[in-house]
Amino acid sequence: MENEFLKNKIDLQVLRGRWPVVFAAVSALLAGWYWIYAGGGLPRGGTFSGLAFGVLAFLLTIFLMVYKARKHVYHLRIGPTSAWLTAHVYLGVIAGALVLMHMGFHVSGTFGGGLFVLFALTMGSGVAGSLIFKLTPISLMKDGREMMTRDILREKIAKCAHDADSDLQTASEQLKKLYRDQIRPYLELRRIPWSYLLKEERTLIRQRRRQLEALFPRVSNDEKYHLRLLQNIVVEKERFTMRLVKLELFDFWLWFHLPVSFVVFAMILFHLFMVLYY
């Protein structure tokens, strides 16, 4: 099956602009630093360079935690949230590399191994979360000035079905039967259609329009306006459903990414406390 999502929809803004150049330059600098450092003996976290890598990783981790607060402070003119998201992704990867350099690319002990695994999961889920935004051409959270939530979207989807049912009250029995058999299933939402994540919205809308256009020869000229109205309602419902699926995915991602991030940050603070105390 042709993957329209990968063919038409991918727009990796995160790979554009100055950040890729900055990331490449910083990565080259850190790689050179580590190569010189490791060449002088066994790399360990307690050496000057090892501590420097650890401190830089900690400072970047603080910035990564601040990103969540920045998303809710729109009145401050400290850069658009999209730029912060891009920085969050690149600096998260750099922080992960710094953690490995701090450890000398050697995981030891239960605490160190657990911290490394959780940090890797946090970094990987962070990249995945950024793709949810970067690969979505429509706003997830707003429709004009109205904030979109899962409950509001479900209400709008239900209203589409209600409006379609109401319009068919005065239709002929032939059109009502056609509606029940061929159109009403498009307006139902019994479960989240996760397959919509693999579809491009414009392609889905064109497909639905073609499917309903094929029904026009089966109704009388006097009732074609009913079918045209139903076609528009189905299209509107599919737009709401596409947005709902993406919000569900984002919420599922948040339930994983945020708790793991806080656990990692707490473990880093505990690690610093133990190092400084002993």
List, for residues 83-140, the tens digit of each pLDDT value.
Answer: 777 777 788 889 888 888 888 888 777 887 888 888 888 888 887 777 766 655 445 5
Residue type at 132 in one-letter notation: I
pLDDT digits (tens, 9 = 90+) for 3-42: 443 433 334 444 556 778 888 899 999 999 999 888 877 7
Is residue 132 within 8 Å of residue 85, measured between CB atoms?
no
- Angle, alpha carbons 28-29-35 (nearest 5°): 85
List the structure tokens of 144: 């004009």
Instruction: Report whether 197 contacts 245 (CB < 8 A).
Output: yes
The three-state secondary structure class of 143 is strand
- What are the structural domain ranges in the chain? 15-139+261-277, 142-249
Distances, alpha carbon 202 to alpha carbons 4, 24, 49, 242, in Å: 10, 35, 52, 11
Lookup: tokens for 179? 């509606």
The predicted-structure confidence for 254-278, as pLDDT tens digits, reads as follows 788 888 888 888 888 888 888 777 6
Residues 128-162: tens digit of each pLDDT:
777 766 655 445 555 655 667 888 899 999 999 99
